[in-house]
Amino acid sequence: MPLRKSEENYRKLVDNAVYGIYKSNLSGQFLFLNQAMAMIFEFDSIEQGLSCPIEKLYYNPEKRKELLTKLTRDGVIRDYDLELITVRGKKRNILLSAFYDDGNILGMMVDITGRKKSEEELILARKKAEESDRLKTSLLANMNHEFRTPMNAILGFSDLIAGESMEPEIVFFARKIHNSGQRLMSTLKAILDLADLESTKSKIRLVHVNVNRLLGTILQPFYQVASEKGLFLITEFKEDLISVADENLLNIILHNLIDNAIKFTQSGGVTIETDVDKSGDQHFIAIRIKDTGIGIRKENLDTIFHEFRQASEGYARSYEGTGLGLSIAYRMSGMLNGKITVESEFGLGSIFTLLIPGNAGRNELIEERRNLSGSLVDKAFKIHKPDELPIVLIVEDNNDNAEILRLYLKGKFKTERAPDAVTAIRMAAENNFSCILMDINLGPGMDGLDVASEIKKIDHYKQVPIVAITGYTMAGDQEKLLEGGCDYYLGKPFSQQGLHDLMMKIFRSNLS
């Protein structure tokens, strides 16, 4: 009696199981199946299932032969992924576990059709998201390039006119054009930086950055802006400060903070300080931007880091700009595991403090200088005849930008121009240029990286520096171009001083 009761209980368990359970023979006939099995294959009854040849449930009969071969050889299979079909023609994705014993097969099937569909939908959604992100990145990169290329000519020619004209009225007009161009460029840059923030997260590269050296580079264009407004711009740097940051993001953060300080200061000036802030065992680099500007009311301190917000808003707002600079700086500081704090008193000025992880030690600085020096020596091109002007090849398809480069280098370098990829390679093979200024977008056909690669194959160009001069300045572009074959990088729009500083670094000789 207990044995019969046990068999009845076992039978009830099998009949009511949520998984399909069956027994079959090698010839392809069901000997037993439970109700769940009948439901999986849409049999009207268990009897219909018992009379249905198993081969009818396979899309491909060869798949069943493959399964039987494996099962009879190994004696057991687990979680075998199958695609079967119901008697009503619907697809079923099945996980099969079974064992073979004395000519019979005892198995269990789990219907994973719904799960498979969800997985496929997730994969499709991920592909669409990746494609959308790729298209967004491509659009931003192209927009960035298309903005910067003409702005390089506008800013360059207006600067040259202002610097060389002897007529005060012409100089005045040129300066107005130049300042308006810079304002437009700042606006476009802020919008593109904001749009690129999400994709930037996956491209962050944390390295050791010499804070004082980076600040020195960033401050160069601001000295003239401060001078034109009658402001002082002074620095108080603590030595031996090395931050752990993405240099491109840190550059953007500091540029926006300094630009904001100068913009909102009408008298007095701006002071930039660097120091160490130690919290427990961790060192932070503190960079303070102090201004004697308009200050911020207490009720506005919570809104200044919001996008498109300024302390003065509406038609009567007092200062130009999109209100994006501080928002971008604030969000980027978080991406670098840092933060920005602000202290301000309305009418007296503000102090913005950027805290970023870093080290304060002479050993790190010495190592950083050694690395910088080594890379400079490796890439510097030695001029064999100092009494002669080096000859530079300008590879640029845009006539205006090619002319800007020629005029910027006039008197310091001889220049020749190649308007396309094929001409550039031919001219390089026929001449001995000391340096090549390479535009990256050269129109249809080969791009600047392709040209750089071909030129580097020419024996006497293996050590000749190639400078990527480009409107591609989004996150990761600089690294991509330097890894792709260029030795140096200069983003458009660039100033005459910026180009001269780079050429001085490359040639390491007195070119004044």
Beta bridge partners of 104: 25, 101
On whether both 227 and 368 belong to a single domain, the answer is yes
- Could you identify the residue written with the tokens 């402001």? 231
Domain annotation covers residue 149: no
Residue 466 burial by Cβ neighbours in a 10 Å radius (0-12, 13-18, 19+) = buried
What does the block give as tokens for 350? 């503000």
Predicted local distance difference test score (pLDDT) of residue 382: 44
Q: In this predicted structure, which of 192-196, 229-233, 310-314 has the lowest mean pLDDT?
A: 310-314
Cα dihedral sign, 239-243-248-251? negative
Domain annotation covers residue 372: yes
Instruction: Verify cis geometry, omega within 30 degrees of 0, for the bond prior to 390.
Output: no
On whether both 351 and 398 belong to a single domain, the answer is no
Taking the C-alpha atoms of residue 246 and residue 336, their distance in angstroms, rounded to an integer, is 7
Q: Quick: pLDDT tens for 269-318.
A: 999 999 888 766 677 899 999 999 988 888 777 777 765 444 443 333 34
Exposure of 7 in the CB half-sphere (CA atoms within 13 A) = 4
Give residue 31's domain range: 13-111
What does the block give as tokens for 363? 């050993």
Taking the C-alpha atoms of residue 310 and residue 186, their distance in angstroms, rounded to an integer, is 16
Domain annotation covers residue 151: no
Predicted local distance difference test score (pLDDT) of residue 445: 85
Number of folded domains that form the chain: 3
Domain annotation covers residue 282: yes
CATH classification of the domain holding 397: 3.40.50.2300
Three-state SS annotation for 284-339:
EEEEEEEECCCCCCHHHCCCCCCCCCCCCCCCCCCCCCCCCHHHHHHHHHHHCCCE
On whether both 409 and 331 belong to a single domain, the answer is no
Domain boundary among 65, 84, 111: 111
Q: What are phi and psi of 210, to 5 degrees?
A: -75, 105
Residue among 510, 503, 508, 509 nearest 435 (CA): 503
On whether both 229 and 290 belong to a single domain, the answer is yes
Q: Compute the CA torsion angle 140, 146, 152, 153 (nearest 10 deg).
A: -170
At residue 319 the predicted structure's pLDDT band, cuts being 50, 70 and 90, is: very low
Taking the C-alpha atoms of residue 404 and residue 150, their distance in angstroms, rounded to an integer, is 11
- Is 70 exceeded by the pLDDT of residue 323? no
Quick check: 242 and 208 in contact, CB under 8 A?
A: yes
At residue 510 the predicted structure's pLDDT band, cuts being 50, 70 and 90, is: very low
Domain boundary among 376, 396, 415: 376
Domain annotation covers residue 119: no
CATH classification of the domain holding 285: 3.30.565.10
On whether both 454 and 359 belong to a single domain, the answer is no
Domain boundary among 82, 111, 140: 111
- Is 50 exceeded by the pLDDT of residue 56? yes
Q: Quick: pLDDT tens for 405-446.
A: 999 998 889 999 999 999 999 999 999 999 999 998 888 889
On whether both 390 and 363 belong to a single domain, the answer is no
- Is 60 exceeded by the pLDDT of residue 480? yes
- Is 50 exceeded by the pLDDT of residue 372? no
CATH classification of the domain holding 69: 3.30.450.20
Domain annotation covers residue 331: yes
Quick check: 305 and 326 in contact, CB under 8 A?
A: yes
On whether both 218 and 303 belong to a single domain, the answer is yes
On whether both 216 and 339 belong to a single domain, the answer is yes
Domain annotation covers residue 488: yes
On whether both 432 and 308 belong to a single domain, the answer is no
Three-state DSSP state, 377: helix
On whether both 268 and 367 belong to a single domain, the answer is yes
Tell me the residue type at 130.
Answer: E
On whether both 405 and 363 belong to a single domain, the answer is no
On whether both 53 and 95 belong to a single domain, the answer is yes
